[in-house]
Structure 1
Amino acid sequence: MMKKRRHRRNNVNATQKATLNKDAASSEEVGDRLSKLPNDILLNILERVDTLDAIRTYILSKRMMKLCTKLSQFFLSCSSIPGHNVRTNSEYVRTNSVVAHVTDNILSTRSPEITISKLKIRFILMQPDCYTIGKSAARTMATQKVGAAEFEIITEKIHKKCSPADLLDHAKQFNDFFSACLDAFAGLKRLWLRNMRFGELDIPNILTTCKLLESLHLTNCDSGMNSLVQLEHAKLTELEVEYGKFEIVELTCLPKLQRVSYKGWFNSHKGPLYFGFVPQLSKLRLTKIGTRPTRTLELSQLLGNVPYIGNLHLDFQSEKIWVLPESPKLLRPVLSQLQQVNLDNLSEGCDLAWTMFIIEAAPSLKELCITVLDHWCNMVMRDKEFRKNNGFCEKADVEWKPPP
Structure 2
Amino acid sequence: MSYKEELKAKLYKDLELKCDLGSEGISFKNPDIFKNLDLGGEYLEQVHVLFDYNTDSHKAYDLPVAFYTPLGLDVQFRANKKSKYSIDYINGEFILFNNGEELFPLEFAKRPNYYSKKTSDGTDMRTVAIYNGHGVVFVAYSNECALRDKGKDCLFCNINATKDTYGENQCISWKYPRQIGETVAQAYREGSRHVTISGGFIPERREVDYYLDVAESIKEYTGLENFNGTACIGAPTDLSVIEKYKEAGFSTLAINIEVWNEHFFRAYCPGKEELCGGRDHWIKALEYAVKVFGRGKVRSNLVGGLEPKSDTLAGIEYLASKGVIALAPGWVPNPGSALEGHNSPNPEWHLDLAKKNAAILRKNGYTYEELYNAYAAPVTLVHDIYRIEDELLPIFSEIKEEVLV
For the criterion TM > 0.5, the same-fold answer is: no
Q: What TM-score results when the alignment is normalised by the length of structure 2?
A: 0.31
Q: What TM-score results when the alignment is normalised by the length of structure 1?
A: 0.31
Relative to total residues, which structure has the larger strand share, 1 or 2? 1
